Each structure stands twice: as structure tokens, then as C-alpha cells.
Chains A and B, each alone.
Chain A
Amino acid sequence: MAHTPAARTARPVRSTRRARRARPVRLTRRARQRLAANLALLAVAAAFVVPLLWLVFASLDADADLRVSPPASPTLDNFSAVLTDEITFTPMRNSLLICGSATLMTMVCAALAAYPLSRYRSRFSRPYLLTILFTTCLPITAIMVPVYGLFVQINLIDTLSGTAFFLATSQLPFAVWLMKNFMDGVPVVLEEAAWTDGASWFQSLTRVIVPLMGPGLTVVTIYSFIMMWGNFFVPFMLLLSPEQLPASVSIFTFFGNYGSVAFGELAAFSLLYSTPVLVLYILISRRIGGGFTLSGGVKG
């Protein structure tokens, strides 16, 4: 719109008409395109935001129902109602125990496995990596029935440790794959410096490589944790007793009997349960932007 006057003044000058006109016309088209793109994006965003709005509004509304409506008198009653041992703290503690220990297990195993895969040449490493990449794609959902059967046989069913072991394994192929790629990015020169100073492979791994992989390692760790925190099917299948259920499954106790759901409390609990992953995602989304270069490590 702002360019129309310019286009008008350009018109009378006949000799250079083409050259002068081309520019303002293209700019208006670009502005029009931008406006159309903005409107289309805002329409999509509006459609996507509605369920999220419900979550926020209902959690602050003492008598929330199924529709999105701003609470008449915002209150934190829903939060104080769910912040009890039985409803929130025990499931969240279970989630933290399962996902925390599983993430730790995944990261340690992946870092150890990535080291020889990245540093040594062998006929064996390419097939191994291909198998790893293959398993990252397998639908874990499909093997949960046999996993249940297996866990019954080896007495791991309904144990937090068994669930943590399985979650760790399900995330392991992806972690190994990423970790190997990050490790490839750490120059061997730095490690050789450590070797000449008499460091063993383990020392060079923990003192040189892991610190240099810091940003990448953080991203993989947080990503694994987010995946496990949100996982519903695995704990749903492998844990039975109510006091062991993590938040992803215990949420169904609100949801189970359709008739008398306290929607406000459910929304408040959902928000509490989602907050850790939202915060963690914000942390890594900044890291992804800035921290992936290792060039600072080698000055030559």
C-alpha cells in the first residue's frame, strides 16, 4: 500500500519506464504476499491454539466444562485441589524416578558405545550402525505385548526398575546414533594431546570428549528425557499397582469415569505434568541455535 504513490510518480517518465516501474510493482507484490502469508499463518495458529487455550482457561476455572471460555473469576483452587501426595506428588516422583534413571542409563551406555564406533575402524562398525539406525525406526508399540509376556516370565512386571530398563533401551538406538555423530565432530587431535600426556581411553572420553560434546550431549539427554516423560504406552503396559504409576498413566484416574470428571482439576494436573517438558524444550531450542560448533576447541 505504501508504495502506490511511488508507482504513480514513476509512470510519467516514459524513457526509463520499465526500469523504474519494475521495482515498485515487485515490492507491492511482495508486501501482498507477506500479508497473505501472515493471514494464513495466523489462521492456522488460531486453529492450533484453541485446545491449548482450553487447558489454560479450564485450569483457572472453578467450574470448567468442555468448552473454551475465559474463567469468570480466575482462581487457583484447581491447583490446590490436585497438589496432594496421592494425585500429584507420588505420580510425579514415579515419573521422575523412571525417566531420570532411564535417561542416565541411556546416556552412559550410548556414550560408551559411541566411543569405539566413532574412533576405531572395523568391518563390524558399519553393520552395527546400520542395525542401530534400523531399530530407531521400529514401532516400539508393536512389541509391547511380547515385552509384557517376557516381563511376566522374568519377574520384572510391575517394577519401576524393569520399566526404566525398557524405556532406556527403547531410546538407546537413537541416542547411540546421535552420540556417534556428535563424537565424530570432536577432532581426534585434542584426544591425541591427552594420550601423549598419558591418559587412558576412559580418561580421554570423560575429560576431553564429553566436555567438548557438552551442547550436543545436553540436547540428546533432554530429548530422551522428554520422550520418556511423555511416553504413555510403556508404563501403561508394564506397571500395574496404582502407587507405582507415573503421571502419564495416573492421569487416567481423572479420565476413567466419564460421568463425573472434574475438568478444572484435570486441566490443572495436565498443566503441572506438562510443565517440565515445556521448560526443558525451551532450554534445548535455544541450545540448538547456538551451541553446535566445536571449532572453538581447536585453535590452529
Chain B
Amino acid sequence: MSVAKVPAAGGRRYWRWLPIAPATALLLLFLGGPIAYCVWIALTDMQLTGQESASFVGLDNFRRAFQDDAFINAVVLTLVFTLLSSIIGQNTLGLALAALMQRAGKTVRTVTGVVVICAWVLPEIVAGFLLYTFFHRQGTLNAVLDWLHLPSQNWLFTLPILAVSFANIWRGTAFSMLVYSAALSEIPTEVTESAQVDGANARQRLWFITLPMIRRSIGTNLMLNTLQTLSVFGLIWAMTRGGPGNRSQTLPVFMYDQAFDKALIGYGTAVALLLLLVGALFSVIYLRLMREEV
């Protein structure tokens, strides 16, 4: 059989790799190109107004970033946003939903699944707009709070970062839920049952049986959630535009603001490069987690 598989030696051995060319060309041109360009612009003082004046400034943009209060503010907000919405929110809620779904009745499971997944499938900008109305001063959340006789708030003004974090939880939990549902269904029932027979209570079973058995899924899920959350732009843009002031300005919004509203392409790109490096770091960790599958 393998006679047919390797027809000839020499030139043909290289020609048969030709089908890989279109994909590689696209990737080099539209992904590799911009990344190289990104490194180059980040080292210049390029501005939107004219390319002639751009000159090489070395690491000035980075030095400037670390002394810029607005940049530090964006870093802190990005950390808060990622921690709250991805690591605590989506991840924990997704795991809780998946665990509850195993115990719940079929109808309830289906209804919850449809609602949560619906929030995930909706386009980002629609989700942003829906949560804008939800958190707005005259929106539904305050209507509910009024009805419960609790103090209402102008959420998008007083706690914008909390509002966008909740928005991201609303939108992103379905992914974790799907990942964990798949992982939990692969745990053989004998294992949990024998732990139960040995007298382990629910918390012990979760801590010593379930979590260790799905740790690979937890790692993968945390990594993908964090990467996705780091690059959220549309949701925040639709809800607050990074405001009021810069109180919900995470790194992607800060980068956009510097590059286009303030016309400092060089500086904005330096920020983008930092974001890219963080993303690359997470990707490497992800690769290590996935190593067995390549």
C-alpha cells in the first residue's frame, strides 16, 4: 500500500508540500507582516499626521508608558477586568453551571443551556448594547433594585469596570460551561461513587476527586478565557467607550485611544506590542498544556 503513497524521490518530495503555500502566504502577509511592522513602529515616534517626521526613538515609548499614569491605570483596570470576569466569573460560574447541570432535571438543563449559550452566540456588539441598556441609569437593573426597595445606582458612571466585567461574564460563561460539561461527563461514575461509599462528603469529593481529574480542562479553559478577555474591545466600546474619564479603559481601549484619538501611532503600537507579548506568554503556556496533542 505504501508503494502508492511515496511515488518518487527528489524534486517531487518538495513539490508535494506546495498546497501549504496559500495559507502560509496569507499568514506571513497579514499576520507576520503586521507583527514585524508592530515591532518597528513601536520603536519610532510615528504620528498620524505624517510619516516623514517619524524617527527612530529606541525604547522611549516603553519608558514613557511606564511613567504614564494613564497607562498604569489601564494595566490595573485590565488586571481587575481579567481577574473578575474571566478567572473568577466565567470560570467559576461555568464550572458551577456544569456541575449543577449534571444533577438537574432534563428540562431545566436544556432551558438554562439555551439561554446561556444564546448570550454567547449573539454578536459582541449586540451583547454590548443589551448590557448597556441593562446597566443604564434608567435600565432594567435599577428597575429591579427599585422594586426590591434597594438603592439604585448609575452603574455605568459609578462602577463602570464592574459593569463591563459583569457584561463579559454574561457573554463568556457559556464557553467555560461547555468545556466543563464535557470534562465532567468524562469522569467515570464509579470513582465518585466509591468516594461516596468511603464517606467523602460533597466538598471533599469536589476538592480531592473532581477538580484533580479535570485539571487539564481547567488549565486550558483558564488560558483561553484569559486570552479572550485580554482582547475584549467591542463590548467595552459599546457600553462605556472606556469612560467616564478613563475608568473603564482597559489596554485595548487605551491603545486605540492613544493611536487614533491622540494620533500617537508609535506610542499606541508600543502598548499594543506589550499586549501582544502578554498574549504570547499565555500562548506559550497554553502550548505546553496542549503538548501531547501535536
Contact (A176, B23) CB under 8 Å given A33-B103, A52-B115, A170-B31:
yes
Are A230's CB and B123's CB within 8 A? Answer: yes
- Return the CB mask of A5-41 against B: 1 if under 8 Å, else 0: 0000000000000000000000000000110111011
Are A41's CB and B97's CB within 8 A? Answer: yes
Are A146's CB and B41's CB within 8 A? Answer: yes
Q: How far is the CA of A128 from the CA of B265 in the complex (A)?
A: 32
Contact (A34, B140) CB under 8 Å given A40-B100, A130-B294, A133-B294:
no
Q: How far is the CA of A149 from the CA of B42 in the complex (A)?
A: 12
Q: How far is the CA of A188 from the CA of B283 in the complex (A)?
A: 32
Measured CB to CB, the closest approach of chain A to B132, in angstroms, equals 8
Contact (A232, B143) CB under 8 Å given A45-B112, A169-B30:
no
A95 — nearest CB in chain B belongs to which residue? B123
Measured CB to CB, the closest approach of chain B to A259, in angstroms, equals 13
- Size category of the B interface is 35 or more
Are A37's CB and B103's CB within 8 A? Answer: yes
Q: Is A241 an interface residue (CB 8 A)?
A: no
Are B123's CB and A120's CB within 8 A? Answer: no
Q: How far is the CA of A255 from the CA of B162 in the complex (A)?
A: 22
Chain A positions within 8 Å of B227 at CB level: 137, 139
A128 — nearest CB in chain B belongs to which residue? B20
Measured CB to CB, the closest approach of chain A to B247, in angstroms, equals 18
A205 — nearest CB in chain B belongs to which residue? B19
Question: Which of B5, B22, B123 is A277 in contact with, Cβ under 8 Å?
Answer: B123
Q: How far is the CA of A9 from the CA of B280 in the complex (A)?
A: 65
- Return the CB mask of B13-39 against A: 1 if under 8 Å, else 0: 000110110111011011101110110
Are A143's CB and B140's CB within 8 A? Answer: no
- Return the CB mask of A77-121 against B: 1 if under 8 Å, else 0: 000000000000000000000000000010011101101110010
Contact (A41, B294) CB under 8 Å given A66-B133, A139-B231:
no
Chain A positions within 8 Å of B231 at CB level: 139-142
Q: Is A266 an interface residue (CB 8 A)?
A: yes
Stretch at the interface among B67-75, B83-91, B206-214, B271-279: B271-279
Q: Is A76 an interface residue (CB 8 A)?
A: no
Q: How far is the CA of A4 from the CA of B275 in the complex (A)?
A: 60
Stretch at the interface among B58-66, B183-191, B251-259: B251-259
Are A34's CB and B105's CB within 8 A? Answer: yes
Are B287's CB and A133's CB within 8 A? Answer: yes
Are A143's CB and B138's CB within 8 A? Answer: no
Of listed B31, B134, B255, residue having the most chain A CB within 10 A: B31
B258 — nearest CB in chain A belongs to which residue? A145
Q: How far is the CA of A293 from the CA of B231 in the complex (A)?
A: 35
* Residue count of chain A within 8 Å CB distance of chain B: 90
Are A48's CB and B20's CB within 8 A? Answer: no
Total A-B residue contacts, Cβ distance less than 8 Å: 257
Are A266's CB and B5's CB within 8 A? Answer: no
Are B115's CB and A196's CB within 8 A? Answer: no
Q: Summarize B's interface: helix, strand, loop or mixed.
A: helix
Measured CB to CB, the closest approach of chain A to B222, in angstroms, equals 13
Chain A positions within 8 Å of B238 at CB level: 252, 255
Are A66's CB and B101's CB within 8 A? Answer: no
Q: Is B163 an interface residue (CB 8 A)?
A: no
Contact (A201, B30) CB under 8 Å given A40-B100, A273-B126:
no
Chain A positions within 8 Å of B122 at CB level: 230, 274, 277-278
Q: Is B81 an interface residue (CB 8 A)?
A: no
Contact (A149, B19) CB under 8 Å given A40-B100, A192-B4, A229-B123:
no
Measured CB to CB, the closest approach of chain B to A255, in angstroms, equals 6
Are A34's CB and B103's CB within 8 A? Answer: yes
Q: How far is the CA of A55 from the CA of B123 in the complex (A)?
A: 13
Q: How far is the CA of A229 from the CA of B35 in the complex (A)?
A: 24
- Return the CB mask of A268-295 against B: 1 if under 8 Å, else 0: 0010011001100100010000000000
Q: Is A73 an interface residue (CB 8 A)?
A: no
Question: Which of A41, A192, A232 is B112 in contact with, Cβ under 8 Å?
Answer: A41
Q: How far is the CA of A42 from the CA of B97 in the complex (A)?
A: 10
- Return the CB mask of B119-133 against A: 1 if under 8 Å, else 0: 101111111011101
Are B126's CB and A274's CB within 8 A? Answer: yes
16 CB < 8 A contacts A-B: A36-B103, A51-B140, A110-B23, A113-B20, A130-B294, A133-B294, A138-B283, A140-B231, A141-B252, A142-B275, A144-B256, A144-B272, A145-B38, A145-B269, A266-B129, A281-B121
Told that A66-B140, A138-B276 touch, could you supply 5 new A-B pairs with CB distance under 8 A?
A: A51-B130, A110-B23, A140-B231, A142-B279, A273-B126
Interface set of A (CB-CB < 8 Å, partner B): 33-34, 36-38, 40-42, 44-45, 48-52, 54-55, 58, 65-68, 105, 108-110, 112-113, 115-117, 120, 122, 124, 126, 128-130, 133-135, 137-150, 165-166, 168-170, 172-173, 176, 188-189, 192, 195-196, 201, 226, 229-233, 236, 248-249, 251-252, 255, 263, 266, 270, 273-274, 277-278, 281, 285
Closest 9 CB pairs of A and B: A230-B123, A139-B231, A137-B283, A141-B231, A232-B234, A113-B23, A169-B30, A146-B38, A112-B19
